[in-house]
Amino acid sequence: MIIIMRRGATPEEIEQVKAKLEGLGFGVHLSEGVKRTILGAIGGDKSKIDVEQLMSLPGVERVVHVMEPYKLVSRAFHPDDTVVEVGDVKVGSGTLTVIAGPCAVENYTTLLETAKEVKKAGATILRGGSFKPRTSPYSFQGHGLEGLKMLASAGKAVGLPVVTEVMDTRDVEVVAQYADLLQIGARNAQNYPLLKEVGQSGVPVLLKRGMHCTYEDWLLAAEYIASSGNTQIILAERGIRTFETHTRNTLDLSAVPVIHKLSHLPVVVDPSHATGQAELVPAMAKAAVAAGSDALMIEVHHNPQTAWCDGRQSLNFQQFSQLMDEIRTIAQAIGRKVAA
Task: Map the footprint of its own copies across residues 282-301, applying CB under 8 A.
Answer: 283-284, 286-292
Of 161 and 210, nearer to its own copies (C-beta) is: 210
Of 86 and 315, nearer to its own copies (C-beta) is: 315
Considering only the stretches 6-14, 55-63, 252-260, 310-318, report the one whose residues sit in contact with its own copies under the rule CB under 8 A.
252-260
Identify whether the C-beta of residue 201 lies closer than 8 Å to the C-beta of residue 172.
Answer: yes
Sequence-separated (6 or more) residues with CB below 8 Å from residue 104: 128, 129, 130, 132, 140, 142, 143, 147, 307, 308, 309, 310
48 contacts its own copies (rule: CB under 8 A) = no
Of 57 and 287, nearer to its own copies (C-beta) is: 287
Kindly tell me which residue out of 178, 224, 317, 320 binds its own copies, with binding defined by CB under 8 A. 224
Of 160 and 205, nearer to its own copies (C-beta) is: 205
Residues 166-205, interacting with its own copies (CB under 8 A) = 167-170, 187-188, 190-194, 196
Give the integer Cα–Cα distance in Å for 148 and 176.
Answer: 10
Kindly tell me which residue out of 117, 165, 223, 310 binds its own copies, with binding defined by CB under 8 A. 223
Considering only the stretches 119-127, 152-160, 256-264, 298-306, report the one whose residues sit in contact with its own copies under the rule CB under 8 A.
256-264
Considering only the stretches 80-88, 110-118, 222-230, 298-306, report the one whose residues sit in contact with its own copies under the rule CB under 8 A.
222-230
Give the integer Cα–Cα distance in Å for 257 and 278.
Answer: 25
Q: Coil, strand, or helix at residue 104?
A: strand
Considering only the stretches 3-11, 45-53, 83-91, 331-339, report the one whose residues sit in contact with its own copies under the rule CB under 8 A.
331-339
The residue count for binding its own copies (CB under 8 A) is: 71
246 contacts its own copies (rule: CB under 8 A) = yes
From residue 59 to residue 78, the character string flagging contacts with its own copies as x (rule: CB under 8 A) and all else as - is ----------xx--------
What one-character DSSP code corresponds to residue 310?
-
**Of residues 134, 164, 169, the one with CA closest to residue 297:** 164
Task: Give me the helix-helix angle, 215-227 and 255-262, nearest 10°.
Answer: 50
Identify whether the C-beta of residue 193 lies closer than 8 Å to the C-beta of residue 186.
Answer: no
Residues 110-169, interacting with its own copies (CB under 8 A) = 133-138, 141, 167-169
CB of 329 to its own copies, least distance (A): 4
Kindly tell me which residue out of 41, 84, 179, 220 binds its own copies, with binding defined by CB under 8 A. 220
Q: State how far the alpha carbon of 277 is from the alpha carbons of 5, 129, 177, 247, 282, in Å.
A: 50, 19, 33, 7, 10
Q: 26 φ, ψ to 5°?
A: -95, 150
Burial category of 116 from C-beta neighbours within 10 Å (exposed 0-12, middle 13-18, buried 19 and up): middle
Kindly tell me which residue out of 257, 306, 318, 337 binds its own copies, with binding defined by CB under 8 A. 257
Element (H, E) at 30: strand 27-32
Give the integer Cα–Cα distance in Å for 229 and 207.
Answer: 15
Kindly tell me which residue out of 97, 114, 130, 275 binds its own copies, with binding defined by CB under 8 A. 275
263 contacts its own copies (rule: CB under 8 A) = no
Identify whether the C-beta of residue 268 lies closer than 8 Å to the C-beta of residue 78.
Answer: no
CB of 87 to its own copies, least distance (A): 27
Identify whether the C-beta of residue 60 lies closer than 8 Å to the C-beta of residue 39.
Answer: no
212 contacts its own copies (rule: CB under 8 A) = yes
Of 198 and 289, nearer to its own copies (C-beta) is: 289
